Each structure stands twice: as C-alpha cells, then as structure tokens.
Amino acid sequence: MQNRGSGPGGVFEQIAAQYGVSVSEVIRDIQEAVDAAWNNEDRAIRAKQRQLFPKGKPSAEEFIRVMAKQADK
C-alpha cells in the first residue's frame, strides 16, 4: 500500500481508483468487513482484536492506520 504517509484517505483514494468506485464505497465496505470480523467468536481472534484496538471496534480509518503500522513491523 503506497501513500501510507499521507494518511488513510490516500489509501482509500487509491483503492477507489483501482476498482472504479467511490471513496465512500471503499470506506463503507471496509467498515462492513471490520464489523463482521468484530463479531467473530474465536477467542484467539477476539484477544488479538482487544490487543490492537483496546478502545473497542475501530472505524475503517483507524483499522487501516493500525494495520499499516503492523505491516511495517
């Protein structure tokens, strides 16, 4: 994912352009995926979610920001 330094908006714009959709559609789809994942009943997955997002379910923007940091590790 290029343009991580310009914030999540740049990433969303790149994805939208690549797939010919709007930025709002990209954000909506990512948020739907986050919401679905947040309902996972697997204890190991829930523990990792709490570790990465101690304040609770993230927004699409926060999710991308945290995952980008994890990818850089």
* pLDDT tens digits, one per residue of 20-37: 999 999 999 999 999 999
Q: What is the pLDDT of residues 3-62, one digit of tens each?
A: 443 455 589 999 999 999 999 999 999 999 999 999 999 999 999 999 999 999 999 999
Has residue 63 got a pLDDT over 90?
Answer: yes
Percent of the chain with pLDDT over 90: 77
**57-65 own/partner pairs: CB under 8 Å, 24+ apart:** 58/34, 59/31, 59/34, 60/8, 60/12, 60/27, 60/28, 60/30, 60/31, 60/34, 61/8, 61/9, 61/27, 63/30, 63/34, 64/8, 64/11, 64/12, 64/30, 65/7, 65/8
- pLDDT reported for residue 60: 95
- pLDDT reported for residue 72: 84
